[in-house]
Chain A
Amino acid sequence: MSAPMLLLSGVTREHRQGDSVVHALRGVDLAVHPGELVAVMGPSGSGKSTLLHVAGGLDTPTAGEVLVEGRDLATLSPAQVAAVRRRSIGYVFQDLNLLPSLTALENVSLPLELDGARGGLARRAARDALDEVGVGHLAGRFPDDMSGGQQQRVAIARALVGPRRLLLADEPTGALDSTTGEEVLRVLRARCEAGAAGVLVTHEARHAAWADRVVFLRDGVVVDQSGPVAGAESLLPVGGEA
């Protein structure tokens, strides 16, 4: 097996609120390899989102290591961490992923333009990413003119545009109906099978079924991990319909 795309070793995250200390994560170990989709499940307040924030360099662990493509984020400056997010990591949130004042194409090319890529180059890469997720025809539309599912597809395209290969998705289907949600997960799955690594935070088992592994969190601690599950298609009724 190749080196992990994402490696969390003994990651702990504590928040101080006045005199009390909240342990959002305690000694979490997690490795995600290219081609692998890992689901993270747990009740509210279990630390799922914190894990994703730490993995993406948006939050700094109190202890432990976070390596993305072999680079220890703790050794990087804030500007270097931002560069890692531009070039290696893609985020998808539950909703409100897109900048309302930019078109779909411009939203997808955003990380490239932030990286200083010339307009034409960035737009070509963005168009390819949109086509890949099946919404190339929405390139010129603004988010207000798209459905929730279309917005999430655009968000996934942005998360994967360019050389990015680590996808972090925080409840990406939470605001969608079940059919649209399934379509989004299908895209995620396809991308992982094409070589990306993905971490999917969800509280729904049927969505976790799309993953190769499921990690269970409670009170910031990994309490269980399941092995590779049967392919997601096995969960679908005969005929491929929900």
Chain B
Amino acid sequence: MSAWLVRWRLALRIARRDARRHPGRTLLVVLMVGLPVLVITGGDTLFRTEDVDAGEELSVRLGDADVRITGESREEIAADPSTGTVWAKAAAADPAWTRDEVTGLLPDGSRVVESRNSWLYVGTDGGYARVDAYAEDTADAMIEGRYEVLEGRLPERAGEVAVSPQVAERAAGPGEQVVLTRDDVPAEVVGVVRRPFESSDVVVLPLTDAGLLTDALSRFYADVPGGLDWPAVQALNRRGLAVLSREVAQDPPPESAWLPAELGISQVDGGNAAETAVIALVVASLVLEVVLLAGPAFAVGVRRQRRDLALIGATGGSAGDLRRIVLANGVVLGGGAAVLGAAAGIGLAAAAIPVIESRTDQVFGPFDVPVRDVLLIAAVGLFAGLAAAWFPARQAARTDVVDALAGRRGQVRTSWRSPVFGLVTAAAGLALVVLGARGEELAVAGGAVLLVIGMVTATPWLVGLLAPLAGRLPIAGRLAVRDATRNRSRTAPAVAAVMATVAGVTALAIGSASDSAQAERDYVPSAPLGTARVYGGMEVTEADWDAVAAVVEREAPGRPVHRLQGNVWTNSTVQDEIAVVAEGCTGDLTTCRWFPDTSGTVMTSYGELVVTDAAGLRAIARPGVPEEAYAALDAGRAVVFGSGAVGDAGRIAVSAVEYDGTGEGTLLGTAELPAVEVPLPAAGRQGVDLPAFVVVPASLAERLPLPVATTTLVTGGPDDPVTEAQEERIGEALAALPADGSITVERGWQDDLALARLILVLVGGALVLIATLTATGLALTDARPDFATLAAVGAAPRTRRSMAMASAAVVGGGGALLGVLVGLAPGIAVAYPLTSTNYGTGVDPVLAVPWDVLAAVGIAVPLVAVAVTGVFVRSGLPMSRRMT
């Protein structure tokens, strides 16, 4: 065994024994290092388990089948062989593929079953709910694995269904009757099922009832003797069939083998450089914080070990041996904490999964421990422990053996290199921050890191600057300041931890407050305050809207409910649209289509044309719509915002256009309407804000060249706002209706970042408290001999408590003040690119300094630390005793 190894074994042995002899210090370091490892490992494990990859999903997608086939086209397609997802196809299959056709293309002896998938309405207590529906050949064994039967069984004959747990709760459970489709076709629920790794609402029917589904998509599951290899899959792709083959999916070909190059896209995640940089920044900040918080514990350990280290020196240990012994503490404690934290994180994640699944809709995949990630996280934890022990180890190597053996402190030597390096680095960081204010957030972030690192390095020197203050303070304060300046190896890391934390909170708080201030300045309400708008899904009938209106009137009574009508968009490639024609223009619609004449931006909330009455317009319009508009609607005339569309005869022309998905439009017809032109409202920061270009009264709706339908219901307003409770009740009631409706209420600008800032203050405040109380506790322990002397000379018992509170004020208050000063520059700098309208050119930036947040972390938290110290530290000086 080499000499180097022997020396390390000795050092590790001493470190292990010391860890057991000083359980308090051991626990402190293990918590500092282990807790972040636990949180990150647990979070990563939950994330990886929740993220179901293609391999895990294969058995769900295929069940017991070898192959799944979908008839996408009658021409060649490009499809991902590991998932069966289609990436390129010319046109949809017409006619649709049949089971016999698919069977004919597979090897002899293959067996094929069909599955059909779409949606249908299921009757519930409140009306109908739209759910995903699967019609399956449940008698065939190939279905095994595609459904998880939680209760009962899969349907076997016509008139039977199995439902998901959510549908069972809302509609009917096992043994009960349920109605399907709007025709109320009765069916018996025979089981409760779930598609693995999914939480959606599902109904499963036998294949014989597939006719109940609307526009169902067919899938074919095949049992192929010998499986289907990649050449066979490619052959089917050339015929227009997308294939998921178990054999190929388990060992898929490279992307270049199936993804057409002309698409210019790739599934390979090239990574996001900015995202990686942010993650690296967060990890580095976390490691720095751990090092600064755990460092004092190692520093105090070196102080206590001083005589032992001197003995080792006297016995023949070199400076390197002494350094190695302290570093071994970092290895033992950091490594132990990392292992414990990682194991606990994985265990907690395993315990949390069933709890999360039972209380939320979240569904997890197979338990997945990300071994590589865990090893990396544990390695970072070990590194943090080593880094925390590094500076104390260097100090140990400089132990003056003679002084230590005699029990003397020895001269406190300070190096000039560290503060110079620190200040130079901080200055460079500040320069980078200032330069970054011109539009580079990453430069500001990088400069902030340098600034903090520089100040951390210079902190021991900065703490030393407090020394002259000591003489002017009363005894408790004088002791605290002298203790802080003479024990900088213990004090400086704690002050630096507070400083770094508060600087980060300050910078982030200023950036987010400025961002919020800009959002508030630039916010454009989409409706008058307190106005509720209810939107519907696709293919909603007027009868459905009647049911929605009834819900709104019931839950938010006493307010008129206005209907807005307009173009209805469908889920197909062919779309019909109403366009306004410019006055006197006789060319094709490409040149004659009219838009309001303004140099700036014009925004509409309800499209180009909306049908409603004067009361409806008043409910949705912002200030600036002239009264003549409402009078025109009452008089049965259309209102046009802006000039150029209404002719001298007081009429506008509107045309119906059909778009077929290729960009070409076909004119279907034109109509003329009586109309009034009103001036555009004044433009705001974002441009002109209109409800629509043209508002047509309901009395003219039948004259439009295309039929219109209800698109939105509107109720409430500034004088009678819809409350949050009413909004919630309407939302719940809408969920039970077939209209697939949703409600939104204009409540003005909401500060989305307020919660984040609050969390920032709480987390930052907690870290400041931990650092301050840790340093204070260690200072009290170190000061025991001094307290004994104080007792001997007659000091008051409260001196101990006073000194502790003063220590807390030095560390917490000094560090926080420094942190606010350090954080101001990056905070102000990042506010400029974040809030500049034109992204960094400096146009219209907003700077908002959240003084309440700064006061909280800079003043209130240190005061809390002082108060907590005063409450929990006992007064009373110890009796003099022999110190070993």
Residues of A within 8 A of B (CB): 49, 53, 56, 58-59, 78-79, 82-87, 89, 91, 93, 96-102, 106, 110-111, 113-119, 158
Given the known interface contacts A82-B313, A85-B316, A99-B312, the answer about A114 and B402 at a Cβ–Cβ threshold of 8 Å is: no
> How distant is B175 from chain A, measured CB to nearest CB, in Å?
71
Contact A79 B318 (CB under 8 A): yes
Given the known interface contacts A114-B7, A114-B10, A116-B4, the answer about A86 and B316 at a Cβ–Cβ threshold of 8 Å is: yes
The stretch from B14-22, B555-563, B708-716 touching chain A is B14-22
User: Inside 8 A of B312's CB, which chain A residues have their CB?
Assistant: 99, 110, 114
Query: Which label, helix, strand, loop or mixed, suits the secondary structure of the B interface?
Result: helix
Chain B interface residue count, CB cutoff 8 Å, equals 31
User: Inside 8 A of A111's CB, which chain B residues have their CB?
Assistant: 315-316
Task: Tell me, in angstroms, the Cα distance from A144 to B255 when the chains sit together.
Answer: 69
Contact B315 A158 (CB under 8 A): yes
User: Inside 8 A of B473's CB, which chain A residues have their CB?
Assistant: none
In chain B, positions 154-193 with a C-beta closer than 8 Å to chain A are none
Task: Tell me, in angstroms, the Cα distance from A12 to B9 when the chains sit together.
Answer: 40
13 contacts between A and B (CB under 8 A): A49-B406, A56-B314, A58-B314, A59-B402, A82-B321, A93-B314, A99-B308, A101-B17, A110-B312, A115-B3, A116-B2, A116-B7, A119-B1
Given the known interface contacts A115-B3, A117-B6, the answer about A87 and B17 at a Cβ–Cβ threshold of 8 Å is: no
Task: Tell me, in angstroms, the Cα distance from A100 to B18 when the chains sit together.
Answer: 9
Contact A82 B7 (CB under 8 A): no
- B308 to A, closest residue via Cβ: A99
Is B884 at the interface (CB under 8 A from chain A)? yes
- A56 to B, closest residue via Cβ: B314
Contact B6 A118 (CB under 8 A): yes
Tell me the total A-B contact number using a CB cutoff of 8 A.
86
Is B350 at the interface (CB under 8 A from chain A)? no
User: Inside 8 A of B318's CB, which chain A residues have their CB?
Assistant: 78-79, 82-83, 114
Contact B4 A100 (CB under 8 A): no
Is B219 at the interface (CB under 8 A from chain A)? no
Contact A58 B316 (CB under 8 A): no
Contact A58 B401 (CB under 8 A): yes
Contact B6 A93 (CB under 8 A): no
> How distant is A76 from chain B, measured CB to nearest CB, in Å?
12
Is B533 at the interface (CB under 8 A from chain A)? no
Task: Tell me, in angstroms, the Cα distance from A158 to B316 when the chains sit together.
Answer: 11
Task: Tell me, in angstroms, the Cα distance from A169 to B17 when the chains sit together.
Answer: 28
Contact A83 B316 (CB under 8 A): yes
Contact A102 B17 (CB under 8 A): yes
Task: Tell me, in angstroms, the Cα distance from A18 to B221 when the chains sit together.
Answer: 94
Task: Tell me, in angstroms, the Cα distance from A82 to B318 when the chains sit together.
Answer: 6
If A58-B405, A114-B321, A116-B4 are given as contacts, then 18 extra A-B residue pairs at C-beta distance below 8 Å, sorted by A number, are A58-B313, A58-B314, A78-B318, A79-B320, A82-B318, A85-B314, A87-B316, A91-B314, A91-B315, A93-B405, A98-B311, A99-B308, A99-B311, A113-B10, A114-B317, A114-B318, A115-B3, A116-B6
Given the known interface contacts A113-B7, A114-B10, the answer about A58 and B402 at a Cβ–Cβ threshold of 8 Å is: yes
Task: Tell me, in angstroms, the Cα distance from A154 to B289 when the chains sit together.
Answer: 44
Contact B307 A96 (CB under 8 A): yes
User: Inside 8 A of B315's CB, which chain A residues have their CB?
Assistant: 85-86, 91, 110-111, 114, 158
Contact B314 A100 (CB under 8 A): no
Quick one: CB contact mask for B82-113 with A, threshold 8 Å, 1 for yes? 00000000000000000000000000000000
Contact A119 B6 (CB under 8 A): yes
Contact B316 A82 (CB under 8 A): yes
Quick one: CB contact mask for B844-884 with A, threshold 8 Å, 1 for yes? 00000000000000000000000000000000000000001
Is B216 at the interface (CB under 8 A from chain A)? no
In chain B, positions 301-350 with a C-beta closer than 8 Å to chain A are 307-308, 311-321
Contact B316 A101 (CB under 8 A): no
User: Inside 8 A of A53's CB, which chain B residues have their CB?
Assistant: 402
Task: Tell me, in angstroms, the Cα distance from A55 to B321 when the chains sit together.
Answer: 22
Task: Tell me, in angstroms, the Cα distance from A111 to B21 when the chains sit together.
Answer: 23
Task: Tell me, in angstroms, the Cα distance from A91 to B316 when the chains sit together.
Answer: 10
> How distant is A211 from chain B, measured CB to nearest CB, in Å?
22
- B5 to A, closest residue via Cβ: A116
> How distant is B212 from chain A, measured CB to nearest CB, in Å?
78
Which 6 pairs from chain A and chain B are nearest by CB?
A116-B3, A86-B316, A101-B17, A85-B316, A82-B318, A113-B10
- B321 to A, closest residue via Cβ: A114
User: Inside 8 A of A56's CB, which chain B residues have their CB?
Assistant: 314
User: Inside 8 A of B402's CB, which chain A residues have their CB?
Assistant: 53, 58-59
Task: Tell me, in angstroms, the Cα distance from A194 to B314 when the chains sit together.
Answer: 24
> How distant is B401 from chain A, measured CB to nearest CB, in Å?
5
- B16 to A, closest residue via Cβ: A101
Task: Tell me, in angstroms, the Cα distance from A85 to B401 when the chains sit together.
Answer: 13
Task: Tell me, in angstroms, the Cα distance from A97 to B2 when the chains sit together.
Answer: 28
Task: Tell me, in angstroms, the Cα distance from A78 to B1 when the chains sit together.
Answer: 25
User: Inside 8 A of B321's CB, which chain A residues have their CB?
Assistant: 82, 114
Task: Tell me, in angstroms, the Cα distance from A87 to B317 when the chains sit together.
Answer: 11
- A86 to B, closest residue via Cβ: B316
> How distant is A206 from chain B, measured CB to nearest CB, in Å?
25
- A96 to B, closest residue via Cβ: B307
- B18 to A, closest residue via Cβ: A101
In chain B, positions 383-419 with a C-beta closer than 8 Å to chain A are 401-402, 405-406
User: Inside 8 A of B308's CB, which chain A residues have their CB?
Assistant: 99-101
> How distant is A222 from chain B, measured CB to nearest CB, in Å?
21
- B20 to A, closest residue via Cβ: A101
Task: Tell me, in angstroms, the Cα distance from A203 to B401 when the chains sit together.
Answer: 23
User: Inside 8 A of B7's CB, which chain A residues have their CB?
Assistant: 113-114, 116
User: Inside 8 A of A110's CB, which chain B residues have their CB?
Assistant: 10, 312, 315
> How distant is A121 from chain B, measured CB to nearest CB, in Å?
10
Contact A96 B884 (CB under 8 A): yes
Quick one: CB contact mask for B758-774 with A, threshold 8 Å, 1 for yes? 00000000000000000
Contact B1 A114 (CB under 8 A): no
Task: Tell me, in angstroms, the Cα distance from A100 to B313 when the chains sit together.
Answer: 15
User: Inside 8 A of A85's CB, which chain B residues have their CB?
Assistant: 314-316
Contact A100 B311 (CB under 8 A): no
> How distant is B318 from chain A, measured CB to nearest CB, in Å?
4
> How distant is B571 from chain A, measured CB to nearest CB, in Å?
75
Quick one: CB contact mask for B600-640 with A, threshold 8 Å, 1 for yes? 00000000000000000000000000000000000000000
